[in-house]
Amino acid sequence: MALAVAAFIVGALVSLATSWVLVIRLERVGERFGLSEAFLGVAAALAADAPEITASISALSQHQRAIGAGVVIGSNVFNLAALLGLGAVISGFIALHRRVVVLGGFVAMWISGCCIVAITGLVSPLFGLVLASTVLVGYFCILGLHRNALKRLHLPRGFCEWISSAVIEEELELEASVRPSRGRPIDAIVALGALAVVVLSSVAMERGASELGHHFHVADAVIGGIVLAAVTSLPNAVAAVHLATTGRGAAAFSTALTSNNLNVVAGLLIPGAVIGLAAPSASGNLTAIFYVVLTALVLVLTFVQCGLRRRAGWIIISGYVIFVVWLVAIS
């Protein structure tokens, strides 16, 4: 018992602290290689997601599939509330370009759709991975293409112009937030070391939480979807508060959606295709449904208001509270 408590607390603290080091060092390495602001945002999101992705893979490998799926999907629901809902409440208003909302929103809804059809058993995890990866890789390629490169694809001119404008606007929103100092070789070495520490500490945290949850007869869906999901997503929440208080809340939008997309692909569908996912259940289906619905709600509110106001932030946070209460009630 004492060992499980220590593993959870120490693992959580070390994982969260080290993930910050990983984010900073990866951003510097990306800057050294001349990555765009959008790709720097992707690198930062992937590094910040290391705890939840590792915890999910650890649970799935131990055949605790409800916990593994819960960590990823529950983290995504938490991200929407903490990064966007809380960010809007603190800043009062997060202004966004509508093209950015449509471009990022299409990818987010597609990935969340792939998530729910895989969780509910409508398609296999492998097929869900193919569907999700096709759009996500295409999105990353678009972010990395220069305007002239887009034209060489012989796509409709209007479409290319729209995509180019959306990418430019997204990079303008991210530029002030993710442009780090130029990295050195030591940054790459530190990043690798930090990644190893994050992986090991996240595994310890997941094992400790699982032991404690089973000792106190807590449902796996609650352990993964609420406890581990919230703890592993704390770096993202802290980052969102920082961005909002410094007047850069718009960057939280792209970070939140990218983080959720990477969570589903790297933390759920890839290991699910190899190891398998849990059989469809009421709690698993509910978590996935809330993820899709809350994502759609965020996108609608953001598009209509060209951003998120404080009232919209409270609505998003209330949605997360309803999710927590409902999940506990049915588990």
Q: What is the DSSP string of 104-167?
A: HHHHHHHHHHHHHHHHTTSS-HHHHHHHHHHHHHHHHHHHHS-HHHHHTTT--HHHHHHHHHHH
Domain residue limits at 297: 2-330
Amino acid 193: pLDDT: 83
Say which residue the tokens 């442009």 belong to: 179
pLDDT at 115: 93
Tens place of pLDDT per residue across the chain (331 aa)? 777 777 767 767 777 677 677 767 776 776 676 665 556 666 666 666 777 787 778 777 777 777 778 888 888 998 899 888 888 888 788 778 888 888 889 999 999 999 999 999 899 999 999 999 999 988 887 776 655 556 666 666 676 677 777 666 666 655 555 455 666 778 778 878 877 887 777 777 777 777 777 777 777 778 878 888 877 777 667 666 666 665 555 667 777 888 899 889 988 899 889 888 877 888 888 889 999 999 999 999 999 988 888 999 999 999 999 999 998 888 7
Whether 213 and 222 have beta carbons less than 8 Å apart is answered as yes
Tally of structural domains, the chain:
1
Helix (H) or strand (E) holding 248: none
Predicted pLDDT of residue 317? 94
Q: Nearest 5 degrees, angle CA 190-CA 192-CA 198? A: 100
- Tell me the Ramachandran region of residue 84: left when phi exceeds 0, alpha when psi lies from -120 to 50, beta otherwise: alpha
* pTM more than 0.85: no
Give 238's contacts (C-beta < 8 A, 6+ positions apart). none
Which CATH number fits the domain that encloses residue 46?
A: 1.20.1420.30
- In this prediction, residue 117 carries a pLDDT of 93
